């Protein structure tokens, strides 16, 4: 392999500085100084063999935990050595923090790989672990959920009351004929009843399939039929962006004409009280049913490998995949990661994960992790901008949130409006910040720490997937010296490698394919009804090794950087370029609040880089036309990374297509960039975004 190294200048301070005047150029190296001291950043373009992703940006800032934080942290430095010395004994120790009705004697059965069995001869009940045991331990009066409705209504639900409601719901399900192993579809807004429903289904040994409330009736029907769900639990609607947003009509349409013949009943929560059609043969009022139900229910144990939930993920092609998770291993890793990664002190912390329960983050770190650890958590129904962009920070202030876990796309949306809005609120209660969903660029990382974390809160940048079930890669806030933009290190108990296309292990400074080389407790147990697809999708590229589908690299200090989906890697003139690093370069410019990059077909280079950027509001008065901005930013990318990464086209847009969970739908941007018909937009938070972007397709600058 041959390579050439070049260093370039860049703005990497992470501060919201409107102009470049605070920077000093020294040859090809930019230096700046802020209240954390001097910094430098270099960019390097490595020309590699075809089987290796290009290795571009470098980061030099470091933030060690304070002595006070280390002294009181849950995780201690010795945890890595303990896990490395005997990985299975380590996981068995974590599992024993749960309540087992029947203790396990075998930790892992990998004899039928890749179908794992963890703690298989043990029995437990997940709802008992999340609820009953805390009440029995004398913590029934602790608040489990601080619910904040978008219109401003609120509830404080203690562990005693939540347990009572879950028992009632479990009895309703049993009365309606739901049995252990049956599948129940849940299509709900972010209200307490969503968590109650999930816990009740799991309590009786049924299998929930939570379907995100933004999916269309057709998508809903597909998922109901694939799981052969016997019941749907839904609501008349929820509040979103200042108005009632209907949900039940989509369920009615999905079930119309006998399309979902397996469904026997629909339980309906009256959240908005809006008018909805009512089918007396199917529909049952949640409130009335629970009002008549007994609040006595004894949780029965189930095998550790008893199915817990199916969660559908959408691929770029083919039918949605029903990812199957089971009980004991999943709960073990979720409890362990929630406690250690977020440094949870359940008696004093107030935790808030902003994810919707329709996604895996809302399963693991809303419905299960916080509750199994006895935490008090915030649950918010609406959007970050209702009634204005201060809503989240008013919630942090109201409930004295101490741990905040959200997505980089949300952080960059707040950056767009600058620091003035969050600075109106008292955010001093925050002591740990978390990031999830996609790589967080260093610029956003620094803003998050400085503005939201008061310049002190450690940030845990977490990597995991629907398939992994729980966090796999993350710093530990009381142990790890943090580096902006880097997920850094596998959590204790997880084994990862970065491989090239030939399966050879890559060392520091080389980018390749992220793999997990040893089974882990929360791993998916298969794709519902399709074991062959499970093997082909995740285990066929490298024998006996899980391929995550993401690109990654270890930098020269051994810290791990996520480079985005391999599907998003662009092949430009034979160079494999990561969208994540080009996006990071764009956001490092003071003009840019957020960026999304895709590859588009190009007759000359094979693929060309096409970028979509949102500008910071504070910059709008000082910049020129879209074409001027495009030229400036294209030159900036060329300077920071190298000419090969220079976008062919940059489009300035007001918003990017995002799901309600904050993920950017890059496949829709590829449709625009390649002048194809726009694909399915039903999961977007705002479906009009794509119409606006399509109308601007001719506005970019290019060579």
Number of other CB atoms surrounding residue 515 within 10 Å = 20
Asked whether residue 517 is assigned to any structural domain, the reply reads no
Spatial separation of the C-alpha atoms in residues 316 and 52, rounded to whole Å: 23
The single-letter DSSP state of residue 395 is: H
Number of other CB atoms surrounding residue 605 within 10 Å = 17
Same domain for 487 and 347, yes or no, is yes
| The pLDDT value given to residue 527 | 96
**Residue 316 pLDDT > 80:** no
Same domain for 7 and 88, yes or no, is no
In sequence order, what DSSP letters do the residues of 23-84 get, joined into one string?
A: EEEETTEEEEEETTEEEEE-B------TTSB---B-----BPPPHHHHHH-SS-TTHHHHHH
Q: Which residue has the higher pLDDT, 320 or 27?
A: 320
Same domain for 285 and 420, yes or no, is yes
Same domain for 155 and 82, yes or no, is yes
Grouping H, G, I as helix, E, B as strand and the rest as coil, residue 430 is: coil
172: left (phi over 0), alpha (psi -120 to 50) or beta: alpha
| The pLDDT value given to residue 576 | 62
Residue 334 corresponds to which tokens in the numbers above?
């979720």
Same domain for 80 and 36, yes or no, is no
Q: What is the mean pLDDT of residues 390-397?
A: 98
**Residue 309 pLDDT > 70:** yes
Same domain for 4 and 102, yes or no, is no
The single-letter DSSP state of residue 102 is: B
Spatial separation of the C-alpha atoms in residues 515 and 526, rounded to whole Å: 17
* Structure confidence at residue 30 as a pLDDT band (50, 70, 90): very low
| The pLDDT value given to residue 684 | 67
The torsion of the CA quartet 355, 357, 358, 359, rounded to 10 degrees, works out to: 50
569 contacts 576 by C-beta, under 8 angstroms: yes
Spatial separation of the C-alpha atoms in residues 690 and 677, rounded to whole Å: 11
Q: What is the mean pLDDT of residues 120-134?
A: 98
pLDDT in tens, 153-205: 999 999 999 999 999 999 999 999 999 999 999 999 999 999 999 999 999 99
pLDDT in tens, 557-591: 999 999 877 766 676 765 667 777 788 889 889 88
**Residue 60 pLDDT > 90:** no
Q: Which pairing describes strands 183-187 and 231-235: parallel, antiparallel, or unpaired?
A: parallel
681-687: long-range contacts at Cβ-Cβ below 8 A with a sequence spacing of 24 or more?
681/657, 682/214, 682/215, 682/216, 682/219, 683/212, 683/214, 683/215, 683/219, 683/314, 683/659, 684/214, 684/657, 684/658, 684/659, 685/214, 685/383, 685/658, 685/659, 685/660, 686/655, 686/658
Same domain for 96 and 168, yes or no, is yes
| The pLDDT value given to residue 583 | 87
Spatial separation of the C-alpha atoms in residues 145 and 190, rounded to whole Å: 12
Q: Which residue has the higher pLDDT, 380 or 575?
A: 380
Spatial separation of the C-alpha atoms in residues 503 and 489, rounded to whole Å: 21
291 contacts 274 by C-beta, under 8 angstroms: no
Same domain for 77 and 33, yes or no, is no
Domain end among 495, 524, 546: 495
Asked whether residue 519 is assigned to any structural domain, the reply reads no
Same domain for 421 and 481, yes or no, is yes
pLDDT in tens, 478-535: 999 999 999 999 999 999 999 998 999 999 999 899 999 999 999 999 999 999 999 9
In 589-677, where does DSSP find H-type helix? Answer: 626-640, 666-673
* Structure confidence at residue 664 as a pLDDT band (50, 70, 90): confident
Spatial separation of the C-alpha atoms in residues 298 and 166, rounded to whole Å: 11
- CATH code, domain carrying 381: 3.40.50.12780
Structural domain harbouring 6: 1-42
Number of other CB atoms surrounding residue 62 within 10 Å = 12
pLDDT in tens, 602-647: 767 678 889 999 898 877 767 767 778 888 999 888 877 777 788 9
Q: Position of tokens 């296309």?
A: 501
| The pLDDT value given to residue 683 | 61
Give the torsion sign (CA, 588, 593, 596, 601).
negative
**Residue 45 pLDDT > 50:** no
**Residue 662 pLDDT > 90:** no
Spatial separation of the C-alpha atoms in residues 461 and 440, rounded to whole Å: 7
- CATH code, domain carrying 597: 3.30.300.30
Beta bridge pairs of residue 565: 550
Same domain for 77 and 3, yes or no, is no
Asked whether residue 257 is assigned to any structural domain, the reply reads yes
Spatial separation of the C-alpha atoms in residues 206 and 198, rounded to whole Å: 10
Same domain for 271 and 417, yes or no, is yes
| The pLDDT value given to residue 642 | 72
Residue 315 corresponds to which tokens in the numbers above?
């691929």
**Residue 686 pLDDT > 70:** no
Number of other CB atoms surrounding residue 116 within 10 Å = 21
Asked whether residue 505 is assigned to any structural domain, the reply reads no
Task: Give the H or E element holding residue 551.
Answer: strand 546-554
- Which residues lie closer than 8 Å to 575 by C-beta, 6 or more apart? 47, 54, 644
**Residue 5 pLDDT > 60:** no
Count of structural domains, the chain? 3
Share of the chain above pLDDT 70, in %: 85
Residue 42 corresponds to which tokens in the numbers above?
């270099």
Asked whether residue 525 is assigned to any structural domain, the reply reads no
Domain end among 477, 495, 513: 495
Residue 658 corresponds to which tokens in the numbers above?
């995002």
Grouping H, G, I as helix, E, B as strand and the rest as coil, residue 141 is: coil
Asked whether residue 268 is assigned to any structural domain, the reply reads yes
Domain end among 429, 463, 495: 495
| The pLDDT value given to residue 412 | 87
| The pLDDT value given to residue 57 | 60
Residue 387 corresponds to which tokens in the numbers above?
């009634």
Q: Among candidates 386, 418, 379, which has minimal Cα distance to 686?
A: 386
Beta bridge pairs of residue 307: 326
Asked whether residue 291 is assigned to any structural domain, the reply reads yes
441 contacts 408 by C-beta, under 8 angstroms: yes
- Which residues lie closer than 8 Å to 154 by C-beta, 6 or more apart? 146, 147, 148
| The pLDDT value given to residue 670 | 81
284 contacts 266 by C-beta, under 8 angstroms: yes
Helix axis angle, 328-341 to 87-95, nearest 10°: 90
Q: What is the mean pLDDT of residues 289-298?
A: 98
* Structure confidence at residue 124 as a pLDDT band (50, 70, 90): very high
| The pLDDT value given to residue 687 | 66
E-strand ranges in 241-288 read 243-246, 265-269, 283-285
| The pLDDT value given to residue 49 | 41
Task: Give the H or E element holding residue 582.
Answer: helix 579-587
Spatial separation of the C-alpha atoms in residues 29 and 6, rounded to whole Å: 11
Q: Among candidates 585, 696, 588, which has minimal Cα distance to 649?
A: 696
Residue 258 corresponds to which tokens in the numbers above?
């006998």
Spatial separation of the C-alpha atoms in residues 437 and 408, rounded to whole Å: 7
Asked whether residue 524 is assigned to any structural domain, the reply reads no
280 contacts 268 by C-beta, under 8 angstroms: no
Same domain for 320 and 450, yes or no, is yes
**Residue 701 pLDDT > 50:** no
Chain mean pLDDT for the chain: 87
227 half-sphere exposure, CB direction, 13 A CA radius? 33
Q: How far, in Å, are 188, 211, 221 from residue 284 at the CA level?
A: 15, 19, 19
């Amino acid at each position: 392999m041959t390579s050439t190294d070049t260093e370039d200048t860049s703005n990497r301070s992470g501060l919201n500085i409107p102009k470049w005047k605070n920077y000093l150029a020294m040859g090809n190296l930019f230096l700046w100084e802020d209240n954390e001291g001097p910094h430098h950043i270099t960019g390097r373009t490595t020309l590699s063999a075809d089987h290796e992703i290009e290795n571009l940006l470098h980061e030099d800032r470091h933030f060690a935990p304070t002595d006070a934080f280390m002294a009181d942290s849950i995780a201690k430095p010795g945890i890595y050595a303990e896990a490395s010395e005997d990985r299975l004994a380590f996981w068995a120790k974590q599992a024993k923090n749960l309540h087992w009705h029947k203790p396990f004697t075998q930790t892992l059965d990998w004899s039928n790989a890749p179908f794992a069995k963890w703690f298989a001869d043990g029995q437990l009940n997940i709802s008992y672990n999340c609820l009953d045991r805390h009440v029995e331990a004398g913590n029934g009066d602790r608040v489990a959920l601080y619910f904040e409705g978008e219109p401003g209504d609120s509830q404080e639900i203690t562990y005693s009351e939540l347990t009572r409601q879950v028992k009632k719901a479990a009895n309703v399900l049993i009365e309606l004929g739901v049995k252990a192993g049956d599948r129940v579809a849940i299509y709900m807004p972010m209200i307490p009843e969503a968590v109650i429903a999930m816990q009740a289904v799991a309590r009786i040994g049924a299998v929930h399939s939570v379907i995100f409330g933004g999916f269309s009736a057709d998508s809903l029907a597909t998922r109901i039929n694939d799981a052969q769900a016997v019941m749907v639990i839904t609501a008349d609607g929820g509040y979103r962006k200042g108005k009632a947003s209907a949900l039940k009509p989509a369920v009615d349409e999905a079930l119309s004409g006998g399309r979902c013949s397996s469904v026997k009943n629909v339980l309906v929560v009256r959240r908005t009280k809006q008018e909805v059609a009512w089918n007396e043969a199917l529909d049952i009022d949640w409130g009335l049913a629970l009002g008549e139900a007994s609040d006595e229910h004894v949780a029965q144990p189930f095998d550790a490998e008893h199915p817990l939930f199916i969660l559908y993920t959408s691929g770029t092609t083919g039918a949605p995949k029903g990812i199957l998770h089971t009980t004991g291993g999943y709960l073990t890793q979720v409890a362990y990661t929630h406690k250690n990664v977020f440094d949870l002190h359940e008696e004093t912390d107030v935790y808030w994960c902003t994810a919707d329960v329709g996604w895996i983050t809302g399963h693991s770190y809303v419905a299960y992790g916080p509750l199994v650890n006895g935490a008090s958590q915030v649950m918010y129904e609406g959007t970050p901008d209702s009634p204005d962009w201060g809503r989240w920070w008013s919630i942090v202030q109201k409930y004295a949130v101490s741990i905040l876990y959200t997505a980089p796309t949300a952080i960059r949306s707040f950056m767009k409006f600058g620091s003035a809005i969050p600075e109106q609120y008292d955010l001093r209660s925050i002591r740990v910040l978390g990031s999830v969903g996609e790589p967080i660029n260093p610029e956003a990382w620094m803003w998050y720490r400085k503005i939201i974390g008061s310049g002190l809160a450690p940030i845990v940048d977490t990597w995991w997937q629907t398939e992994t079930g729980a966090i796999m890669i993350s710093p530990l806030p009381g142990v790890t010296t943090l580096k902006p933009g880097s997920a850094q290190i596998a959590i204790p108990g997880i084994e990862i490698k970065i491989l090239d296309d030939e399966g050879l292990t890559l060392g520091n400074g080389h980018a390749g394919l992220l793999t997990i080389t040893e089974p882990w407790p929360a791993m998916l147990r298969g794709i519902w009804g399709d074991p062959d697809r499970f093997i082909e999708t995740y285990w066929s590229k490298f024998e006996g090794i899980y391929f995550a589908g993401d690109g990654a690299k270890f930098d020269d200090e051994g810290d791990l950087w996520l480079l985005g989906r391999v599907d998003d890697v662009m092949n430009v003139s034979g160079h494999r370029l990561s969208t994540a690093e080009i996006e990071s370069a764009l956001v490092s410019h003071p003009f840019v609040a957020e960026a999304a990059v895709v590859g588009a077909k190009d007759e000359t280079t094979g693929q060309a880089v096409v970028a979509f950027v949102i500008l910071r509001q504070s910059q709008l008065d000082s910049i020129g036309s879209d074409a001027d901005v495009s030229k400036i930013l294209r030159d900036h990318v060329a300077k920071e990374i190298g000419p090969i990464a220079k976008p062919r086209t940059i489009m300035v847009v007001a918003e990017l297509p995002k799901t309600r969970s904050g993920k950017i739908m890059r496949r829709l941007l590829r449709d625009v960039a390649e002048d194809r018909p726009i694909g399915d937009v039903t999961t977007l938070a705002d479906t009009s975004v794509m119409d606006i972007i399509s109308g601007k397709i001719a506005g970019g600058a290019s060579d």
